[in-house]
Amino acid sequence: MENEQTQVIMGLIVNGGNARSLAMKAIYAAKKGDFEEAQAYLAECNASLVQAHHAQTELLTKEAAGEKTEVSLLMVHAQDHLMNAITVKDMATEIVDLYKNK
């Protein structure tokens, strides 16, 4: 796997992991009643997801142009991080709302 592709994949992993962690922090903040902090964490989470999506889009664009992407364990791990982060963010948004309307 070429170095540039590895860097893009690592961007997916890092940003996906950061997004998931920030989503969880939003839940913890809402649990203690700090909804302003929870919303700030969700905003940071969304920013990390945007960065992860940019990395993913870069890989997809290159593959659509004929530059094949090697499907490695690292790539699978990166996609797993991203999908989990999106799921946790969606759930965190709902949980924050539940705490807020409690």
Is 53 annotated as catalytic? no
Of the residues 53, 54, 77, 81, only one is catalytic, namely 77
Give the separation between CA 96 and CA 46, rounded to whole angstroms. 15
Give the chain's radius of gyration (CA, Å).
Answer: 16
Q: Is 80 annotated as a binding residue?
A: yes
C-alpha 77 chain-centroid distance: 13
Residues in contact with 15: Cβ distance below 8 Å, sequence separation at least 6, in sequence order: 48, 49, 51, 52, 55, 82, 85
Instruction: Supply the residues annotated as catalytic.
Output: 77
Annotated binding site: 80
Annotated binding site for Mg(2+): 80
